[in-house]
Structure 1
Amino acid sequence: MSSPEVAPNLHRVVTGHDAGGTAIVILDDDAQNARLFEGGTVSRLVWSTDRTPADIRMGTSIEDAGARRLATAPPPNGSRFAVIDFAPYSIGPMHRTETLDYVLVLSGDVEMQLDNTCISLKAGDVLVQRGTNHSWINKTDQWARVAFVLLDANPLGIGRPITGNQSPVE
């Protein structure tokens, strides 16, 4: 039995503090900032930062950092939190970013193709990726949902990394 032809919505909640310092929910919605890739794969930006430490000032009038127009790499000295729904039978392009990536497979099965090996990951698996050349593959008839936190990193000085506004799938 195959899965739906369209990726499921991604619900997000963003918390903060009101002017008095009380913890509140600032945003409670579906992540709308999505990029569609060939084959149906969808990348949704959940949140991003443009510096470390991050700006988490109090108040309800904050920028929706999930609405920013970013490519694959985070801003310099920043971070990017995205969730990607890999379509059934999809194969992403081989690429590399100058980032440290924390990856969590939320549902489904994916493979990460490296230069000379392939790693199988299933729901609940985590991966720390350190600027390696890679491609994402979903060989199943089901959607695979994977969360990515990309942190800007010092350049390795090898290959041709994706930077700035270039946009293959993470």
Structure 2
Amino acid sequence: MALSDNIRRVVTTIDGDDKAVVLFDSENPHNFKRQHGTVSRLFWVTGESPADIAGTADRAASFKGIAPPVGGSVLRIVDFPPTPPEVEKLDANYQQDHIGELSPKRGLPPRHPFMHRTRSVDYALVLFGEIDMLLDEGEIHLKAGDILVQQGTNHAWVNRGTEPCRIAFVLIDAKEP
């Protein structure tokens, strides 16, 4: 089954008359094709906690990166296509060479070329498909309807199936353990 590329984003706010109104209602404009066919759709970003809910700016428009801003949060949906066999042949340090500070925690050899981590609490809801999350030791198989709470762990996403997997993520900045 092909996943729809058109995901609607609706953002509401309080206007100058103190009324609830729609700020944005359109197909999500912040879509990024990443390595090996993965598509990341960024919906909203906060840069502080408690979040600033005033203003009319598109809080996702200028954000770059994976991890949330210090004190902030990120909402995104990621489509993971089946992982191509050539990925297993990449150097295990592939992510370290490409994402720097998001590389696996120092001192631990990466188990997979896509191994990475963010200093965040991540809420992940599998919307469609199945995927394996590799950890430093072991792995967990997730399927549609499963919810994962991840607390700053080294991990890699591997889709060993034949269908894409879609996951909604909320990343919230956290302290290092």
TM-score range, shorter chain: 0.7 to 0.9
Aligned-partner Cα distance in 2 for 1:98–1:39 = 24
Residue 127 of structure 2: aligned partner: 106
Shift of residue 7 of structure 1? 6.3
Structure 2 residues without counterparts, runs of 5 or longer: 88-112
**2:83 match:** 89
Q: TM-score, normalised by structure 1?
A: 0.81
Q: Distance in 1 between matches of 2:38 and 2:17?
A: 42
CA contact (8 A) 1:16 1:25 kept: yes
Q: Deviations over 1:19-55 (max 9, x none)?
A: 1122111111122212212221111111000000001
CA contact 1:31–1:66 (8 Å) conserved in 2: no
Q: 1:147 aligns with which of 158, 168, 172?
A: 168
Q: Which has the higher contact order (CA 8 A, sep 6+)?
A: 1
Cα distance, 1:9 vs. partner?
2.4
TM-score of the aligned structures, taking structure 2 as reference length: 0.78
Q: Which runs of 5+ in 1 are unaligned?
A: 157-170
Aligned residues: 150
Q: For residue 49 of structure 1, what is the aligned residue in structure 2?
A: 46
CA distance in 2, matches of 1:154, 1:20: 39
Paired letter, 1:53: P
1:88 Cα offset (Å): 2.3
Contact 1:7–1:143, Cα closer than 8 Å, also in 2: no
Q: Which residue of 2 aligns with 1:68?
A: 62
Post-superposition offset of 1:8: 2.0
Matches of 1:37 and 1:136, distance apart in 2: 13
Q: What is the CA–CA distance in structure 2 between the aligned matches of 1:143 and 1:104, rounded to whole Å?
A: 15
Name which of 143, 149, 168 aligns with 1:128.
149
Q: 1:17: how far off?
A: 1.7
State the AA in 2 paired with 1:143. Answer: P
Give yes or no for contact 1:7–1:85 (8 Å, CA) kept in 2.
no
Identity score, percent: 44
- Measure the CA separation in 1 of the matches of 2:133 and 2:65: 20
CA contact (8 A) 1:15 1:24 kept: yes
Secondary structure in structure 2 of the residue aligned to 1:39: helix
CA deviations on 1:59-111 (whole Å, 9 max, x unpaired) are: xx511012123201111111111110111235671011111111111111111
- Do 1:7 and 1:42's aligned partners in 2 also have CA atoms closer than 8 Å? no
Q: What residue is the counterpart of 2:74 in the other structure?
A: 80
Show the 5 A alignment for 1:23-34: 23-34=20-31
CA distance in 2, matches of 1:43, 1:79: 16
Q: Which moved more, 1:128-137 or 1:9-18?
A: 9-18
Select between 39-48 and 65-74 the one with higher mean Cα deviation. 65-74
What is the Cα-based RMSD across aligned positions, in Å? 1.8
